[in-house]
Amino acid sequence: MAAARQTLGWPYPPFIVPEEIRAAWDHRSQGAALEAAWRELLAHYAQAFPEPAREFERRMRGDLPRNWQQSTAQTLETMLKQSAPQATRQSSQAVLNILGPALPEVLGGFRRSHRVEQTPCSRARAPSRPRKQRANYLHYGVREFGMTAIMNGISLHGGFIVYGGTFLVFSDYARNAVRLGCPDEPARHSGVHA
């Protein structure tokens, strides 16, 4: 270690960040200015569009819609009627079909193969150009790691309840991102299922 420090010209002891580097990396004042500008923009938006602004703020707080208890009870009641054997992807699809209308913040997708029966749910809408409708489904392709890493980022940002799915055997490809999505304290409204 001492030789590496000498070769790199790093004369500082372990765990010390030199003051000049700390100062160069310090963007607190820039961040505060950007946040103030964002809050001002949001305030103008809330005046012009109060309903969407309230919905945005509800989602960012992580609050569930007011009718959430009723939707949950309906989902459970419907699922208990299912008695025939069912593939997990079909069970997932059935739950998403019921929960989706009650939770507009649900966003996600599945690892896609070429099999038609793996469609996510009846309300799945992928982003399109030009934008004709609100999107709530992401085409991940066969990219388990990318899918899981994207879900981590969306969950950290907030405002969405993310889901993703793949076959259990392929979850190994997502292992590193799954581990990053499992902090010491569980994240709100996030989930990865296989």
CA of residue 34 relative to chain centroid, distance: 23
Q: Phi and psi of 183, rounded to 5°?
A: -70, 175
Find where tokens 């950290």 sit: 156
The residues annotated as belonging to the active site are 144
Does residue 63 sit in helix, strand or coil?
coil
Q: What whole-number percentage of the chain has pLDDT above 70?
A: 82
- Cis preceding-peptide flag for 120 (omega within 30 of 0): no
Q: Please give the average per-residue pLDDT across 96-112, as a whole number.
A: 82
Single pTM value for the model: 0.71
pLDDT digits (tens, 9 = 90+) for 55-76: 999 999 999 998 888 878 877 8
pLDDT in the model for residue 4: 92
The more confident residue out of 98 and 160 is: 160
pLDDT digits (tens, 9 = 90+) for 28-58: 999 999 999 999 999 999 999 999 999 999 9
pLDDT digits (tens, 9 = 90+) for 147-193: 999 999 999 999 999 988 888 888 888 888 888 877 665 545 444 44
pLDDT of residue 114 exceeding 50, the answer is no
Burial of 187 (0-12, 13-18, 19+ CB in 10 A): middle
